[in-house]
Amino acid sequence: MTVIALCGFIFAGLCGVYRLLVGPTLADRVIALDVTLISLMGAITIDAARRDDPTNLIMLVVLAIVGFTATVAASRFLEHEGANPSGASQ
């Protein structure tokens, strides 16, 4: 059963990487990075449960913090970029 879950996470991660490389807008790339990161976190979780070894779970906390921070920073950047498309400072 864990092999099926890992294959699903790998497939979702590959789809995210594809959209990250191709995605026409920055917003598409930010969402693709989230999908890829969450897929990686899911695969790490499945692997930790399969091995019955919680040592990699600290890495999940770090990845969650990095992913959240990156998403918030990118969304703030996109918000400010959309409010001032001409590039002139206010």
For 55-84, write each residue's pLDDT tens digit.
888 999 999 999 999 999 998 988 887 766
**59 assigned to some structural domain:** yes
**88 assigned to some structural domain:** no
Q: 50: which residues sit within 8 A by CB, 6+ positions away?
A: 2
Q: Which two tokens stand for residue 33?
A: 């990075």
Domain span at residue 59 reads 2-83
**6 assigned to some structural domain:** yes
User: What is the reported pTM?
Assistant: 0.80
**26 assigned to some structural domain:** yes
Residue type, 5: A
What's the CATH code of the domain at 40?
1.10.287.3510
**70 assigned to some structural domain:** yes
Q: How many domains does the chain have?
A: 1
> How confident is the model at residue 37, as a pLDDT?
94
> How confident is the model at residue 31, as a pLDDT?
92
> How confident is the model at residue 6, as a pLDDT?
93
